[in-house]
Amino acid sequence: MNEASSKPKKFQFTFLRHGESVGNAEARWQGQAEFPLTERGRAQARALADRWKRERIKFDYVISSPLSRAKETAEIIASKLGLLVEVDPLWLERDNGEFAGLTTHEVRTNFTHPEFTTPYDSVGTDGEGDWELYLRAGQALHNLLQRAPARYLIVSHGGLLNQLMHAMMGIVPQAQNAGTRFRFGNTAFAKAVYFPQQHRWVIDKLNDHTHWQDADSEKYA
């Protein structure tokens, strides 16, 4: 057995939030509603692709949420890097029910908000609560780890990626939306390496958006 084949296999993941969308710019709870990228969002994606080309970053696979704001972000980057984009609905943003597409003011004034919430409560009347979203993020992660070890770029959404990081680290959702939150600005990304023979995660980067210093951090992705 040669030296290369004897090395432990590892997964290299880059988890990327989409560029700025019309919904971000208008401070809307987007959820699974469709909002296209703004011109600023496209510029953010191009800036990141140019950065990765300069840094000679390589990916073997690009996987995206089917929502256009994520898919177009993925396509802009994949085109510059000479790759194809796979689409997987597990990487969709949170289904936020009746809040989808509404402004923060409309959500605040048109709905009754309970004084106490648990992770099992629905969001937006009939959308995914934190626990449900956490389980879907865990399923998305599980599916990735059933594939061959490789270099993966995943393009998704702030809410789902936040719960993905919780799933990776074994941090369960808390009542009242308490606890740790992982921020992803527009076209900000996290990098993680997984060593399956040791069940060991190494987090290399979090919320990296040095290609676009004022990247938006609006949370309703």
How is the chain split into domains, by residue range? 3-208
Mean pLDDT of 11-21: 98
Give the pLDDT band (50/70/90) at residue 1: very low
H helical segments located in the chain: 3-6, 22-25, 39-54, 68-81, 104-110, 130-145, 158-169
The torsion angles phi and psi of 212, rounded to 5 degrees, stand at: -150, 85
Specify the CATH superfamily of domain 3-208: Phosphoglycerate mutase-like (3.40.50.1240)
Residue 57, pLDDT > 80, answer yes
Write the pLDDT tens digit of every residue in 163-219. Answer: 999 999 999 999 999 999 999 999 999 999 999 999 999 999 999 999 998 765 554
Q: Taking a C-beta distance cutoff of 8 angstroms, is the pair 211, 47 a contact?
A: yes
Residue 33, pLDDT > 90, answer yes
Percent of the chain with pLDDT over 70: 93
Residue 32, pLDDT > 90, answer yes
Per-chain mean pLDDT for the chain: 94
Q: Taking a C-beta distance cutoff of 8 angstroms, is the pair 18, 186 a contact?
A: yes
Alpha-carbon distance 81 to 91, whole Å? 21
Give the pLDDT of residue 8: 55
- Among residues 132, 63, 46, 61, which one has the least CA distance to residue 95? 132
Give the pLDDT of residue 215: 65
- Among residues 42, 63, 17, which one has the least CA distance to residue 187? 17
Give the pLDDT of residue 138: 98
Mean pLDDT of 28-48: 98
What six digits make up the tokens of 117?
Answer: 């919430």
Mean pLDDT of 99-109: 96
Give the pLDDT of residue 218: 52
**C-beta neighbour count of 70 within 10 angstroms:** 28
Alpha-carbon distance 203 to 184, whole Å? 14
Q: Taking a C-beta distance cutoff of 8 angstroms, is the pair 159, 183 a contact?
A: no
Write the pLDDT tens digit of every residue in 132-168. Answer: 999 999 999 999 999 999 999 999 999 999 999 999 9
Give the pLDDT of residue 219: 46
Q: Taking a C-beta distance cutoff of 8 angstroms, is the pair 133, 163 a contact?
A: yes
What six digits make up the tokens of 115?
Answer: 């004084």
Mean pLDDT of 29-48: 98
Residue 48, pLDDT > 60, answer yes
Alpha-carbon distance 95 to 132, whole Å? 10
Q: Taking a C-beta distance cutoff of 8 angstroms, is the pair 128, 136 a contact?
A: yes
Mean pLDDT of 93-116: 95
